[in-house]
Amino acid sequence: MSEHFPTSVNLEGEDIHWSPDGGLSYGRYLDIETILGAQHPLTSEHDEMMFIIIHQASELWLKLCLHELDAAIELLKADEARPAMKMLARIARIQDQLTQSWAVLATMTPSDYLKFRDRLGQSSGFQSAQYRMLEYRLGNKNAALARVHQSDPDAYKAVVKALEMPSLYDETLKYAARQGLSLPGHVLDRDWSGAYEPDDAVEAMWREVYLDTGRWWEVYEFAEKLVDLEHKFQQWRFNHMKTVERIIGFRRGTGGSGGVSYLVKALNLRLFPELWTVRTTL
């Protein structure tokens, strides 16, 4: 007796067809089997599955952030600021998704986490190569943190490459100079792997932009996209810190980081410093 499986279905008057012999499908296109098979809990504790999925989903969002950011920087280098702005706006919205993920993780109580925490060993979100690359590309150039990834040659190579490239803010300042704004040479040509140091001349440049938006409209509009991006980034960091505090208090992180104390310090870092300080002088 043979069975007959339909190759079409009628939904509200519309015939939907699919191929039964290996044609492209939703599952194949998205590689759903691989994605849904990538969760490997180390314990039988209920909350570990949620813990894994939250972090895996975050890595996917980080991949998209890097995809958008790299493209935005290339467009800015070609003086195509407007399409670059769209990509920065998209990254800010992705940050909303990442921030919301902490609310899901916060449904796990300290007791829930302690049931499987010891099985995590030295693994830690601090070791996320994509997060480190994102911070470097945005401008938080702390070269010492790259050493965390030395045990993974491919990840280390990608992290160091991001460290040594001009950041989004570096490229923004070079873009502003190409538009006719005055900036000192030591800002426009420096060791890109070093931490950016706030400069009075850069703040003066932004003051000129903000006091004459009509003349410098595109530079001004791009600057506000940067402010929005950093605002969302800091919200993500803050929610991360409060979620960690809620679950483990001030204990050290699994990878040996300072946990909450480290995350609190990160909140004081500025990616685009003069765009914040200039507001006081306007």
pLDDT in tens, 21-54: 667 888 989 999 999 999 999 999 999 999 999 9
CATH says 48-248+257-281 is which class?
Answer: mainly alpha
Give the pLDDT band (50/70/90) at residue 262.
Answer: low
Q: What is the pLDDT of residue 278?
A: 97
Does residue 122 carry a pLDDT above 80?
no
Q: At 106, list the tokens.
A: 């916060």
Q: What is the pLDDT of residue 34?
A: 96
Region 120-130 average pLDDT: 79
DSSP state of 190: S
- CB atoms under 10 Å from CB of 60, counted, come to 12
- Long-range pairs of 108-112 with CB within 8 A, sequence gap ≥ 24: 108/47, 108/50, 108/51, 108/247, 109/247, 110/246, 110/247, 110/248, 110/249, 112/45, 112/46, 112/47
Q: At 110, list the tokens.
A: 């300290």
- Which has more confidence, 150 or 261? 150
pLDDT in tens, 190-213: 999 999 999 999 999 999 999 999
Region 221-237 average pLDDT: 94
